[in-house]
Amino acid sequence: MSRPLYVTRPLLPDLASVQSMLAEIWKTGILTNGGPMHEKLEREMEAYLSVPNAMLFNNGTIALLVALKMMDLPPGSEVITTPLTFAATAHAIAWNGLVPVFADVDPDTLTIDPASIEKAVTRKTSAILAVHVYGTICDVIGIQAVADRYDLRVIYDAAHVFGATMHGRSIGSFGDASVFSFHATKLFNTLEGGLITTPRQEDRQVIYNLRNFGIKSEEEVVSIGINGKMNEVQAAIGLLNIPLVEEERRRRSILREKYFSIFRSIPGITLPIKQKGVINSEQYFHIVIDPAAFGKSRDEIYDNLKKRGIFARKYFHPICTDFEPYKDFPIFSSLERPWAEIVKSQVLCLPFHSGVEDEDILDIAEEFGLSVAEVAQH
Ligand SMILES: *Cc1c(COP(=O)(O)O)cnc(C)c1O
């Protein structure tokens, strides 16, 4: 039994291998600005994610900022996104001088609902920033159809879906760009880090410049860039973590099955949907607790687990439209009442990583009213 038990645990390469990577960096004296580790990791990312262009960043938020900046959207235009996401998604829109407009989530997938997007479209809409959430992927076909109808750009916040595929196609290949986060809490980490993938070769130079202050050459600054560069130590950690990802994903998928067998039989608990033809990234495992049907609220469960040293997380509660900067922004919905407003107080992410042991699962199951004997039967 491992306590405290957190919702995730960072993938950590063997310390001796880190030391030899550091020795290599010290030998060259190249610490950042596209050093050898950085270049190697970018090529490995393109191969691993099967995308033509992958560009590294110092974190996912700066990568989101740059992905939007790259689109050169009209100032003050509207970008439709989901309220059920991390604050960085909405902030990246606002920080670019654009207006976030929130559309509801689909009750089955909890990803942005194309019909709700359509309700939010105005003459000022310029793009959609959709989020693949927990590990569930968006309705990429439905979103693209809306985008095509209104001539909108599509960017995916893919922070939760590193390595996911749909019918064999890389998740990073949909839309005009996808943005990944390599923060310590994510399945694959570079301590902090991020990545933009794009299908278009022409984007490379634009992103390259924006990532480095807009500098094109020693005497030319061609765009309003930022410092988004990943350093060599981050890249080294990435190179060492890549070979560890598949094993971590495999162990999480086994844990997913264990959670499924336990929770399947409990009334009032909704499990994540299994998407046909999709290989799940295994970022998070979320459940939705309907207090009327289950008999206890999400917050009660959350508090009780905490008392046992088990730190589940209420991702994403509060939602973006509850935050000060976006307070009173409406949520456009194809339903009578936005599902995001309901599910935000019902969703709970359970500890989900290779450090979760069977005894931990028993403890969690007990909190949901199952005895050891009952769990053993599943
Ligand atoms: C983690 C995360 C980000 C931000 O990434 P950082 O690398 O921490 O800046 C953005 N969006 C979502 C959905 C995330 O989970």
- Maximum distance among all alpha carbons in the chain? 72
Which of 93, 155, 183 has most ligand 1 atoms within 8 Å of its beta carbon, as the pocket-test mutant?
183
Structural domain includes residue 3: no
| Centroid of ligand 1 to alpha carbon of 152 (angstroms) | 23
| Residue 80: φ, ψ to 5° | -85, 130
**Could you identify the residue written with the tokens 């839309």?**
175
Structural domain includes residue 46: yes
**Does the Cβ of 58 fall within 6 Å of ligand 1?**
no
Give tens-digit pLDDT for 69-103.
999 999 999 999 999 999 999 999 999 999 999 99
Q: Note the pLDDT of residue 378.
A: 65
Q: Which of 191, 219, 239 is the last residue of a domain?
A: 239
**Does the Cβ of 112 fall within 6 Å of ligand 1?**
no
Give tens-digit pLDDT for 216-230.
999 999 999 999 999
Q: How many residues does the chain have?
A: 378
Cα radius of gyration (the chain):
21
pLDDT exceeds cutoff 90 at 377: no
Query: Both tokens of residue 28?
Result: 């060259």
Q: How many CB atoms lie within 10 A of CB 311?
A: 15
Structural domain includes residue 355: yes
Give the CATH number of the domain where residue 188 resides. Answer: 3.40.640.10
Q: Are 33 and 102 in a shared domain?
A: yes
On the CB side of 70, CA atoms within 13 Å amount to: 28
Q: Are 258 and 318 in a shared domain?
A: yes
Which of 58, 59, 61, 187 has most ligand 1 atoms within 8 Å of its beta carbon, as the pocket-test mutant?
61
Q: Are 220 and 258 in a shared domain?
A: no
Q: Are 346 and 282 in a shared domain?
A: yes
Structural domain includes residue 230: yes
d(CA 317, CA 308): 22
Q: Is 71 helix (H, G, I), strand (E, B) or coil?
A: coil
Percent of the residues in the chain that have a pLDDT greater than 70, as a whole number: 99
Residue nearest to atom 6 of ligand 1 (CA): 60
Q: Note the pLDDT of residue 63.
A: 99
Q: Are 251 and 232 in a shared domain?
A: no
Pick the closest to residue 331 from 119, 103, 99 (CA basis). 103
Structural domain includes residue 233: yes
Number of domains in the chain: 2
Q: Which of 209, 239, 269 is the last residue of a domain?
A: 239
d(CA 175, CA 342): 29
pTM comes to 0.98
Give tens-digit pLDDT for 227-284.
999 999 999 999 999 999 999 999 999 999 999 999 998 999 999 999 999 999 999 9
Closest atom of ligand 1 to 62 CA is 9
| Centroid of ligand 1 to alpha carbon of 204 (angstroms) | 22
Q: Are 85 and 184 in a shared domain?
A: yes
H or E stretch covering 79: strand 78-81
Q: Which of 212, 239, 266 is the last residue of a domain?
A: 239
Q: Note the pLDDT of residue 49.
A: 98
DSSP, residue by residue, 102-160: EEPBPTTT-SBPHHHHHHH--TTEEEEEEE-BTTBPP-HHHHHHHHHHHT-EEEEE-TT
Query: Domain containing 306: what range?
Result: 246-377
Q: 255 CB contacts (<8 Å, ≥6 apart)?
A: 285, 352, 353, 354, 356, 361
Give the CATH number of the domain where residue 276 resides. Answer: 3.90.1150.10
Q: Are 17 and 118 in a shared domain?
A: yes
Q: Are 57 and 184 in a shared domain?
A: yes
